[in-house]
Structure 1
Amino acid sequence: MKVLLTGSTGYIGRRLKQKLLEDKNIKLRLLVRNKKSVCELEKKVEIIEGDTFNKDALKIALQDVDTAYYLIHSLSNENYKDLDKISAQNFLDVAVECGVKRIIYLGGLGVKNDDTSEHLLSRIETGEILSSNKNVQTIWFRAGVIIGSGSASFEIIRNLTEKLPVMTTPKWVNTIAQPIAIDDVLSYLQEAINLETKENLIVDIGSKALSYKEMMIGTANALGLKRVIIPLPFMSINISSYWLNLFTPVPFSVAKALIEGLKSEVTIQNDHAKKYFPQIQPISYEDSVRNAIKEIEENQVISRWNDTANGVWEKNSSNEISQALYMDRKEADISHIQAQKVYQAFTSIGGENGWFAFDFLWELRGFIDKMIGGVGLKRGRRSQCDLRISDCLDFWKVVDLKENERLLLYAQMKLPGEAWLEFKIKDNKLIQSAYFYPKGVFGRLYWYSLVPLHYFIFKNMINSIIKKASTL
């Protein structure tokens, strides 16, 4: 069976891709914006470069495909509702043209009403578009709070629970939802390939219904903590969004979209999961939390909510760096150290490992970034022991990675311009370069105001990398 997977660099798609690769009865094809986002071990599958806004690329990707997974959304864009409609309609039109038999889509639990958030409404409208043509069967899964290492919902609940022994919370903590473990979501998605039915289906999935307060208490139990939660009698979407922005890894824009969705309950509306997938028995909320914590502790996090590129690695970084007006470059001789060890040292940067020195300055910059709606340092690293293209590294994004040769990071903090940080091994030298392309006068003032700090920070950084490499 030929299967197309879209969204394979996202949170769900990356994990589903691993499962599909293990199925010998499937010939897998990926549609990705940039082939660099695909790991070397996965390049044995057919890869089509493009997106759902390019119909020519879609025709190539969907040609001769039996089943296509649609795991795409445009939440990071301001006009995501319009983009989601265009994307879904393009996908459906080309799928019909290419004779695709089945589309499998993952959306959100919930129904249309006056309290439906824009984010959920967009997911519902996407499902309606994909289900609108009788020539292609659509299996539309609807899930609520997905619990797994790296999921946005779990990161929020875990961070609040770990950091705040006593919480005064808005009334949204009493909203009822039906959480589900990421492994159970993947099981439904995978089993849907061989489902023996020809009708369109909406399949609501989830475990026991819980309030968000009960989820926080369940998380505390799984972590062995005691927490006190005091609900307040108001909703405060904006205040809650800033609160989540401050205490969790998610930026303000994501936090607000999630909080707006907490105005109404999201519960299962049909019994199709039990009827069509009786072999899947969703695990309990606390067990899903324990599984997620175990993956984190063992550095086995396959994907995170912020894996999606959001246009970052689609940039031609080589061209953009060449246009940078300002650069801070440091070089060090590494002829006495193996290149592999130097590479291992500079790819260990960030997250719990820190920035070698002056960590308090990096933390201050991360705090300021959070206060102005940026991503801050709280995203950390997916894994403390390895990197891959698309990984978030605090407020940076890995946009290029060549083993024993190069690491290129693109800045995602709030800046009056664009910035890159590069580590490169060449001719027995470690070359560390910071590039900045300013926007307007303020961008130039920003760079010059930081020149004194850059001198100490970047000089110490390259020396610390060499020192660490010498001890490996």
Structure 2
Amino acid sequence: MKVLLTGSTGYIGRRLKQILLADENIDLRLFVRNKQSVSLKNSKKVEVIEGNTFDKESLEKALEGVHTAFYMIHSLNRKDYKNLDKISAQNFVDIAASCGVKRIIYLGGLGVENENTSEHLLSRLETGQVLSSNPKVQTIWVRAGVIIGSGSTSFEIIRNLTEKLPVMTTPKWVDTKAQPIAVSDVLNYLYESIYLKEEKNLTIDVGAEQLTYKEMMLKTAEALDLKRYIIPLPFLSITLSSYWLNLFTPVRFGVAKALIEGLRSEVIIQNDNAKKYFPNIKPISYLNAVKKAVEEIEKNQVISRWSDRFGKAWDKDHSKDLADAIFVDRKIEYYNNVSKENIYKSFISIGGKEGWFDYDFLWKIRGVIDKMIGGVGLKRGRRDQYNLRVGDSLDFWKVVDVQENKRLLLFAQMKLPGTAWLEFKVDDEKLIQSAYFYPRGVFGRLYWYALVPLHYFVFTNMIKSIVKKAKDKEN
């Protein structure tokens, strides 16, 4: 069976890809914006087609000969995401029908349409309705609410708030009910949907026990062996709550606001189709889901994170951007009696828990400022402290190119009056470290000139520390 997976570099898609690869009965095809964003150990087992759902020619090529297609696409980080999601879904289902696709499997959100429904949830509901509108293609619409797993948005928010705030003053939405579910159970439902013997359209609501968000945070504290107190305050608005989440969790303000708006309405199961069609799947409890997520983090086994697909810097050729940069700060450090493999390992592990060498405090200050003005800050950290792949977040950077023992290119996602990149290149005798900046207007130029003195100390220390760290590995 030929199966198409979209969104294979996202949080759910990356994990689902591993499950599909393990099934010998499946001939897997991936549809991605950029082939460089796909990490595959055995590329011979997978066909990768480049394109997007707004390019009908590439979409037709991706869906040709496919039996089952997973639709795992959304445009939350775009201002006009609601309209774009409808166009994308319509293109997908129309071309799927013309190509003879038998089944579309879509992961949407729990909830019903009413006066409290957020724009984000409305968009997910509309997407499901569009995908289910063509009688020539069956659509299995799996609907999940709060997904709990290492690296998920919901879990990262709840865990960060619980760990950092012994006493939490929260809005009244903490009493809203939801039915959280472990990411492993969501993946089971999606995978089993491939082999479901049913020909009509289905909407399958999935979730474990009903809990309020207050109960979730208290159970998270229990899993982390912490004592926490929650004091609801009725006057905290959506905007104030969004700033609160932005400051204390890894998510940026825009994402936080979209999520907070969704917390006004209950996200609970509306049908019993999960039990009816998947009687063998028994969702684990919220407490066990949290414990499992924490264990994955502690053992450095996080497969994917919510921020994997945040931003589009790696969706295009970046060589022209670097060539167009107006300002370049380049440092070169020669090294002797050190292997380039250790030089590579040294700069590939910067940031995250290991920080940024002697001037780490300056990076932290910049991260706090970035958070305060609505940026991503440093709280995202890293998925893995010693390994990187294209699309990974690294504090307020995004990995756009990584070549083993050769190169690392990072794109700046902090708030800037321009565009910035940080590059490390290694050859047999020297390490080349380059900071590129393309300013936006006069303020962008003033920003760069104001930081030149700091850059001298920070970037000089960085390259010397990378080489020193590599030398220490040799000894």
SS in 1 for 2:74: coil
Aligned to 1:188: 189
Shift of the alpha carbon at 1:42? 4.7
1:56-80 Cα offsets, whole Å, 9 max, x none, are 0011100000000000000000000
Letter in 1 for 2:301: Q
Aligned to 1:262: 263
Shift of the alpha carbon at 1:219? 0.2
Which structure 1 segments of 5+ residues have no match?
Answer: none
Contact 2:105 2:190 in 1 (8 A): yes
Letter in 2 for 1:280: I
Runs of 4 or more off by more than 3 Å in structure 1?
Answer: none
Letter in 2 for 1:150: G
Aligned to 2:158: 157
SS in 2 for 1:107: strand
Aligned to 2:73: 72
SS in 2 for 1:435: strand
Aligned to 2:6: 6
Contact 1:58 1:94 in 2 (8 A): yes
Letter in 2 for 1:33: R
RMSD: 0.8
Cα gap change, 1:393/1:300 in structure 2, threshold over 3 Å: closer, same or farther?
A: same
Q: Distance in 2 between matches of 1:312 and 1:220?
A: 36
Letter in 2 for 1:321: L
Q: TM-score, normalised by structure 1?
A: 0.99
Task: State the percentage of identical aligned residues.
Answer: 69
Correspondences of 1:262-411 after superposition (within 5 Å): 262-411=263-412
SS in 1 for 2:25: coil
Shift of the alpha carbon at 1:426? 2.4
1:122 aligns with 2:123: yes
Which structure 2 segments of 5+ residues have no match?
Answer: none
Shift of the alpha carbon at 1:316? 2.1
Aligned to 1:174: 175
Aligned to 2:132: 131
Cα gap change, 1:166/1:174 in structure 2, threshold over 3 Å: closer, same or farther?
A: same
Q: Distance in 2 between matches of 1:171 and 1:291?
A: 29
Aligned to 2:36: 36
SS in 2 for 1:20: helix
Shift of the alpha carbon at 1:464? 0.3
Shift of the alpha carbon at 1:428? 1.1
Aligned to 1:91: 92
SS in 1 for 2:409: strand
Q: Distance in 2 between matches of 1:107 and 1:126?
A: 8
SS in 1 for 2:307: coil
Shift of the alpha carbon at 1:234? 3.6
Letter in 2 for 1:185: V
Letter in 2 for 1:305: W
Q: Distance in 2 between matches of 1:182 and 1:166?
A: 28
SS in 2 for 1:374: coil
1:62 aligns with 2:63: yes
Shift of the alpha carbon at 1:213? 0.2
Letter in 2 for 1:168: T
1:284-336 Cα offsets, whole Å, 9 max, x none, are 00000000000000110000001015321023211110010001010011242
Contact 1:172 1:235 in 2 (8 A): no
Shift of the alpha carbon at 1:43? 2.2
Q: Distance in 1 between matches of 2:81 and 2:467?
A: 44
Q: Distance in 2 between matches of 1:436 and 1:234?
A: 43
SS in 1 for 2:41: helix
Aligned to 1:23: 23
Contact 1:139 1:192 in 2 (8 A): yes
Q: Distance in 2 between matches of 1:150 and 1:75?
A: 18
SS in 1 for 2:314: coil
Shift of the alpha carbon at 1:235? 5.0
Q: TM-score, normalised by structure 2?
A: 0.99
Shift of the alpha carbon at 1:143? 0.3
Letter in 1 for 2:250: P
Shift of the alpha carbon at 1:427? 4.4
Shift of the alpha carbon at 1:164? 0.2
Q: Distance in 2 between matches of 1:42 and 1:75?
A: 31
